[in-house]
Amino acid sequence: MIVRNGIRSNLRAKGRTALFTGMILVLTLVMVLALGVRLYCDTALAQFDKSYRSIAVVEYMGAEYPDRDEPDPSARAASSAIDDGAIRAIPGVNAWYRDCHTLGTVDGFIRLGNDMPYKNRGVIVVTHLSPKYSMDVGYDPNGELGIVPSDQVDYYTGIVSRSIYSYTGKENIFVSILPDFVPDDVDYGDLYVLHGTFVDGDQLGIHNGMEAFLAMKFPDSDASPVARLEPGEEPGELFAQAAEHYRAINNYVHTVTCGNLNDLWEFHQGVIYLQEGKMPERPDECVISGDLAVKMEIPVGGKLDYTAFSSAENDRYDVELTDRHQSLTVTGIANENTEYTAYIWQQADAPLTRLYGYRIGIASLDNAKSVEAVMAMESIMPENVRVSLLDQGYADAVEPFVSLQSTATNVLLLCAVGTVSVLVLFALLFVGRQNETVRILVSLGTPRRKIVLWLLSGALVISGSATLLGGVLGLLGLPAVFRRIQTRVSGEKELLRFSETLVSTVKTADIKVDTPVWPLALTIAGIILLSLLFCLLFLRTAYRGGTLRRGKSRVRVPRGKTSVFGSGSMRYAVLSIRRGGPRALLVVAVSAVLTLVIIILGGVYRGWETQLDEALHKTQLEGQVTSTDGRFFSGLTVKISTIHKLMSLDDVGDVYVSIRDVYWMPEDIPAFGEGTFAQERRQDWIDAQSELVCTNNLKGAKEFYFTEPVIQWVDGWDESCLADDSYPTIFGALLGIETDKELAPYPAIVGDEFMESHHLTPDCEFTCMMRGNRSLGDEIPVTLHIVGVYHQTGSRAHIYLPLSFFAMPDVVFGEEPPEGSSYGFRYGRWTVENYRAYIYDFYMMESCRFTLTSASHLEESRQALDEAGFGWPGHLGDNRTALVLRDASFVKLTENLGRYLSMGRVMLGLIFGVVALLGFIVSWLLISGRKREFAIMRGFGVRRMQLFLSFFWEQALLCILGCAIGCLALVHFYAGGPLQLLVLGGYVLCYMAGCAISVVLIAKMNLMELLSTRE
Amino acid sequence: MSVFELRDVKYVYQSQYQRVEAIRGISGSFDAGSLYAIMGTSGSGKTTLLSLMAGMDVPTEGHVLCEGVSTSEMDLERYRREKVAVIYQDFRLLPLLTVAENIMYPMELRGKKPAEARKRAMELLEKVGLPESAADRFPAMLSGGEQQRVAIARALGMETRVLLADEPTGNLDTDNSEKIFRILSGLAHDDGYCVVIVTHDSALGERADSMLHLRDGRLLEG
């Protein structure tokens, strides 16, 4: 009976019951949906986390980057300066592996091709030696410079009866033997074993097509490299060791060791992948390259004997055998890849090795914290060290889920706050304010237990049914929401053409999400329990008001004295405000708190807007021509017509190019001989020299792609000299084509070490040599003027010159192709126009970098580049030139901000809704609780409008006062813009609407009925 | 001439579920300088009749005439503001206004300046026997008798010729009831007010100049 009456009495308060049922239902529904989405996202993100791997590649951006074999001392110094412990201590770094790339040998492996250190070395047994012949040529006894002039040279001829080791392994062939170390009294039938090197017999002129063999001393022994053998006698130990040494070293294999091979760049990026087998699990297991498996005929599970080499400091391929032998079990065979021939990958803790190339190490990262981890790593890295995040597309894949997760979390929190507020109000009204009921029930002698049951049953039926209904509706609606998410996520993501983010590999993962239901059921139960808790808390209030308590008055007495100020409705409004006590304070407090929330969230939102605006308008985006896979950006062949096409685009701002060729100082070149062999060695030496880099801006030189050079300029000189077109091209000047420009020393920016080692000083002139052409001769001297000095960090001493040294800037950057004929120039018509046309048609820029005019319309810029025929990594455009925009951080920033702004818009909309609803409810409840006051005033004949205004002004002033306090408290957070004002205005309007509707509704009530109202 | 006249007044409460004829045709007249008592049992319609006389609503049928004009033809708000003053059993003082402000409120409604209204309020307080110090106190700080005197002072401040009182002593003890009755009687007999009291207290009713009995919405003869 008690329960029935309790339920009925509440259900019959239709308006109030409907309002709160609706609010609880909607809030529960939204909470269940938000929690469901959040759980869905959590599960999806966990699956993504398992499917993707994130690594950070740490590289030194040295002058010869990305040469993998460069022994750059600066890179080694930077590598030494990196604290392994500090990196491992960074949150989000799961592991840190130093680069460990060494060479070694595998028993039985024969390397094919020319890339071997001792290709010409051999240990051979010869017989049938001829008498000594003589001729007027010479040779370099060290075998390094080929043939040098000599008065007379002696040689023998013989037959290679046995090749203990030679690259070709040929036996029974004629060979010329140079006489050093060979005794004069050789007998025709004797056997001799020789240690030495094959040289080109052809260039000796001793026998056409016959190879010559030069005996050489052993590296670490003074023993004779020639020894006579008795028939059946084996060569001495030294010869056998040397043969074994060369065999091993010439058949080297690469060995890469990493704590987890899945984190190794090659495997992570999918360049190398397992074709069969599995990844190693023990240090004595390995994966081998496909070609190694084929040549060695090793299956998965097979074994190979490996011996490690040690490399010389300045040459990775100048190696020595060590005593580090291992018997390795092959657990997996990788695909065949020309870049990775004869490779062994071991999964073990990498031993400390000397660094060649520029990859210092790899960090394995926690996917979710990878961005922060990379930022932290960057902050502790030495200068010129770049940390690249490669996440296999994890960030893009999870982006919609992270965005949804974040929005769902915020909606959940907001709904939780809203639910608590509504449940508190609900408990206050349905239990706390039931004083009259309690009074009557008490007067009827109802036991307290039953009164509690009466109150709670009525309230809980409403809150419980509303919550259950909302929960069930939410659960029914979740599958549709999940389908919508899947549709949205699986929708084709817009391809960021030309983006740097396309350079690394992108995986796709199939995610199957199974969302648990128990947290949702728990939430529904939680709301019902919370409602019960609040009702229990307000029971005391119901009793306090409903029963008499001795010695205590339950009437609040306001403070103040009689006022005679003001008139009309405003006077009464002000008096009510002044004496309203908690009622007035409640309005002010609620308004102030809501204002704080609005201002803080609005300020944050505005901050994001400002950041995005600044990012869009202040970011200077750069791009560069790259190899088609986007990995290399130097050593290219960029046509001048391509540069013209690039410059013709409105979206492209500045363009920087470089073109380069080697130089050498006359005093540095060794005295090579004159024969073909010597000339080849000479060319090899020249090819290995540092370069004259001609550019219109230092940004155009690959060395400065990742670092700003620090130049010490000679007075009166600056970087503008590089773009100066008043210098003639070197060939144009020397050939007498560009007669209108004076050939003067070219301004040059040189390295400090180069300057010091050649005893040069700033502002001085010097002459170096460079390669010429058919008309000017093979080598030509060039006079340069040192106008700037940069700090040399690598092993090279490049010299930076104006672009005009090689090519006229107006030809490179002009709008139209030159009018002359390049063919005319080639066939002897050496006019300036023909020369310009020749440069236009045949000169290739080695690198090309450019800036975009604005980042604010990046997509339009991408479109323009696409329409102009440029390609991007993975997509070859019409003009066969791939471009990459250095936009990774910009894209990340704008994507994040865009996501925040989307979430902010949703949240602000929701907050506005909740705030407006709260404003409406608070004002409505406050006014409708003052019916008696209203009735008394109407009883005096107060005009309706005056009455309306009295309440309206009171509430408006209180509400505005609260908003003003909120605004003043957070004046620093107000970031400008109309958003916060609009939301605040909306709140005030809703509040006043609640007030107005309440007043109007009360005014419609019969006055006689109203006067009998008991509050 | 009668200040008040009731001509076959009928009033029906009509709700969704029921129709109650609270007043079923009452006629009568009320003169200035007299104290009238309307008596009846609970539900007899006496408060409804008083409310109709107070201009809270107009009769369903018939007329309530004040100074010869039917309330049905008048602006009820103005009528309540200018023609009648009402005193209630539960005083109905505005809790957030001081005693003086409560008395001043209807005066200000009629356009009196606050300072003038305050002066008049002080006079009225004296008239109803409250000390000057009570002016700045709030209703909740006063006893029931004092609050009813404030309500009377507020009614007097309206400067009407008619004073209607609904159970004015209903919440008071005997001593305070007597004091209030004396004030009301004085207002009728000394100041010429037409005072109509609704009460179920027969002792009080018998002391009125004229007593009307209501039963089931009808006036009993005699």
Which pLDDT belongs to residue A410?
A: 83
Q: Is the pLDDT of residue A346 over 70?
A: yes
Average pLDDT over residues A161-181: 83
Closest Cβ opposite residue A1006 in set B57, B81, B106: B57
Q: Is the pLDDT of residue A553 over 60?
A: no
On the 0-12 / 13-18 / 19+ scale of CB atoms within 10 A, A574 is middle
Closest Cβ opposite residue B141 in set A557, A579, A941: A557
Alpha helices in A724-880 (DSSP H): 730-734, 752-757, 809-812, 822-826, 832-842, 858-867
Which pLDDT belongs to residue A876?
A: 79
Q: Is the pLDDT of residue A373 over 90?
A: yes
Of residues A402 and A380, the one with the higher pLDDT is A380
Q: How confident is the model at residue A209 (pLDDT cuts 50, 70, 90)?
A: low
Smallest CA-to-CA distance from A901 within A500, A496, A605 is with A605
Cα–Cα distances in angstroms (integers) from residue A1015 to residues A177, A434, A808, B213, in the given order: 125, 10, 95, 31
Q: How confident is the model at residue A974 (pLDDT cuts 50, 70, 90)?
A: low
Which pLDDT belongs to residue A897?
A: 86
In contact, A342 and A286? CB cutoff 8 Å: no
How does pLDDT run across B99-135, given as a tens digit for each residue? 998 898 888 888 888 888 999 999 999 988 888 888 8
Cα–Cα distance for residue pair A822/A836, rounded to 1 Å: 8
Contacts of B86 in chain A (CB under 8 A): 939
Average pLDDT over residues A532-547: 78
Which pLDDT belongs to residue A783?
A: 93
Q: A14 touching B, CB under 8 A? A: no
Q: Is the pLDDT of residue A10 over 90?
A: no
How does pLDDT run across A738-773, given as a tens digit for each residue? 888 888 899 999 999 999 999 999 999 999 999 887
Cβ contact A566–B114 (<8 Å): yes
Chain B nearest-CA distance from A550, in A, is 17
How does pLDDT run across A429-477, given as a tens digit for each residue? 888 878 777 877 776 777 788 888 888 888 888 889 999 999 999 988 8
Q: A555 touching B, CB under 8 A? A: yes
Give B212's strand partners: B38
Nearest CA in chain B to A564: B114
Q: Is the pLDDT of residue A151 over 60?
A: no
Cα–Cα distance for residue pair A193/A215, rounded to 1 Å: 10
Closest Cβ opposite residue A575 in set B55, B79, B101: B101
Q: How confident is the model at residue A142 (pLDDT cuts 50, 70, 90)?
A: low
Which pLDDT belongs to residue A407?
A: 83
Q: A929 touching B, CB under 8 A? A: no
Which pLDDT belongs to residue B157?
A: 87
Alpha helices in A369-447 (DSSP H): 370-380, 394-427, 435-443
Which pLDDT belongs to residue A549?
A: 47
Q: In what order do the strands lie in the sheet with B210-215?
A: B84-87, B162-166, B194-199, B35-40, B210-215, B218-220
Lowest mean pLDDT among A334-338, A507-511, B17-21, B109-113: A507-511
- The amino acid sitting at A858 is L
In contact, A104 and A306? CB cutoff 8 Å: yes
Q: B81 touching A, CB under 8 A? A: yes
Cα–Cα distance for residue pair A973/A952, rounded to 1 Å: 30
Lowest mean pLDDT among A270-279, A402-411, A924-933, B93-102: A924-933
Of residues A491 and A611, the one with the higher pLDDT is A611
Give A871's strand partners: A882
Q: In what order do the strands lie in the sheet with B61-66?
A: B19-30, B4-14, B61-66, B69-70
Q: Which conformational region is residue A890 in: left (phi greater than 0), alpha (psi within -120 to 50 degrees), or beta?
A: alpha
* Gyration radius (Cα) of chain B, Å: 17
Q: How confident is the model at residue A494 (pLDDT cuts 50, 70, 90)?
A: low
Interface test with A, best of B94, B103, B147, B158 (most A CBs within 10 A): B94
In contact, A432 and A541? CB cutoff 8 Å: yes
Contacts of B114 in chain A (CB under 8 A): 563-567, 571
Q: Is the pLDDT of residue A397 over 90?
A: no
Cβ contact B57–A1008 (<8 Å): yes
Q: A933 touching B, CB under 8 A? A: yes
On the 0-12 / 13-18 / 19+ scale of CB atoms within 10 A, A804 is buried
Count of residues making up chain B: 222
Q: Which of A270-274, A448-452, A634-638, A998-1002 has the highest mean pLDDT?
A: A270-274
Question: CB neighbours (10 Å) of residue A647?
Answer: 16
Q: How confident is the model at residue A206 (pLDDT cuts 50, 70, 90)?
A: low
How does pLDDT run across A91-114, given as a tens digit for each residue? 999 999 999 999 999 988 888 776
Which pLDDT belongs to residue B77?
A: 85
In contact, A677 and A146? CB cutoff 8 Å: yes
The domain ranges of chain A are: 100-116+251-354, 121-234, 569-619+887-1015, 622-886
Q: Is the pLDDT of residue A775 over 60?
A: yes
Which pLDDT belongs to residue B47?
A: 85
Q: Is the pLDDT of residue B31 over 50?
A: yes
State the average pLDDT for chain A.
83
Q: Is the pLDDT of residue A22 over 60?
A: yes
What tokens were used for A887? 């936009």
Give the containing element (helix H, strand E) for A193: strand A191-199
Give A888's strand partners: none
- The amino acid sitting at A831 is T
Largest CA distance in chain A: 147
Of residues A626 and A133, the one with the higher pLDDT is A626
In sign, the C-alpha dihedral spanning A107, A109, A113, A119 is: positive
Q: A1004 touching B, CB under 8 A? A: no
Q: Cα–chain-centroid distance for residue A248? A: 41
How does pLDDT run across A231-284, given as a tens digit for each residue? 888 888 899 989 988 888 888 999 999 989 999 988 988 889 999 999 999 889
* Gyration radius (Cα) of chain A, Å: 43
Cα–Cα distance for residue pair A773/A207, rounded to 1 Å: 33
Q: Token pair 């949702």 is at which residue?
A: A520
Which pLDDT belongs to residue A548?
A: 46
Q: Is the pLDDT of residue A382 over 50?
A: yes
Give A332's strand partners: A277, A287
Closest Cβ opposite residue B80 in set A563, A939, A944: A939
- The amino acid sitting at A272 is I
Cβ contact A941–B101 (<8 Å): no
In contact, A219 and A75? CB cutoff 8 Å: no
Which pLDDT belongs to residue A587?
A: 84
Cβ contact B138–A557 (<8 Å): yes
Which pLDDT belongs to residue A959?
A: 87
Which pLDDT belongs to residue A803?
A: 94
Which pLDDT belongs to residue A130?
A: 80
Which pLDDT belongs to residue A552?
A: 45
Give the containing element (helix H, strand E) for A101: strand A101-106
Cα–Cα distances in angstroms (integers) from residue A843 to residues A639, A747, A798, in the given order: 7, 22, 20
Contacts of B57 in chain A (CB under 8 A): 1006-1008
Cα–Cα distances in angstroms (integers) from residue A69 to residues A64, A255, A351, A1014, in the given order: 10, 14, 18, 94
Cα–Cα distance for residue pair A42/A50, rounded to 1 Å: 13
Name the packing angle between helices A2-11 and A14-51 (round to 10°).
90
Q: Token pair 């080109």 is at which residue?
A: A200
Which pLDDT belongs to residue A677?
A: 61
Q: Cα–chain-centroid distance for residue A47? A: 21
Which pLDDT belongs to residue A919?
A: 79
Q: How confident is the model at residue B36 (pLDDT cuts 50, 70, 90)?
A: very high
Cβ contact A561–B78 (<8 Å): no
Enter the CATH code of domain A121-234: 2.40.50
Above pLDDT 90, what percent of chain A? 22
Contacts of A945 in chain B (CB under 8 A): none
Which pLDDT belongs to residue A67?
A: 82
Average pLDDT over residues B18-24: 86
Largest CA distance in chain B: 51
Which pLDDT belongs to residue A13?
A: 65
Contacts of A560 in chain B (CB under 8 A): 98
In A560-683 the beta strands, taken as DSSP E runs, fall at: 622-626, 638-639, 652-664
Which pLDDT belongs to residue A550?
A: 45
At residue B204, what are phi and psi to the nearest 5 degrees? -70, -40
Cα–Cα distance for residue pair A103/A316, rounded to 1 Å: 8
What tokens were used for A174? 């004629």
Contacts of B108 in chain A (CB under 8 A): 567, 571
Q: Is the pLDDT of residue A356 over 70?
A: yes
Q: Is the pLDDT of residue A300 over 90?
A: yes
Cβ contact B79–A1006 (<8 Å): no
Cα–Cα distance for residue pair A660/A1001, rounded to 1 Å: 87
Q: How confident is the model at residue A202 (pLDDT cuts 50, 70, 90)?
A: low
Q: Is the pLDDT of residue A421 over 90?
A: no
How does pLDDT run across B143-171, given as a tens digit for each residue? 888 888 898 889 888 888 899 998 888 77
Interface size between A and B, measured as CB pairs under 8 A = 90
Cα–Cα distance for residue pair A506/A279, rounded to 1 Å: 21
Q: B118 touching A, CB under 8 A? A: yes
Closest Cβ opposite residue B138 in set A558, A565, A940: A558
Contacts of A1008 in chain B (CB under 8 A): 48, 51, 56-57
Contacts of A936 in chain B (CB under 8 A): 92-94
Q: Give the count of alpha carbons within 13 A of A32, CB side only.
A: 30
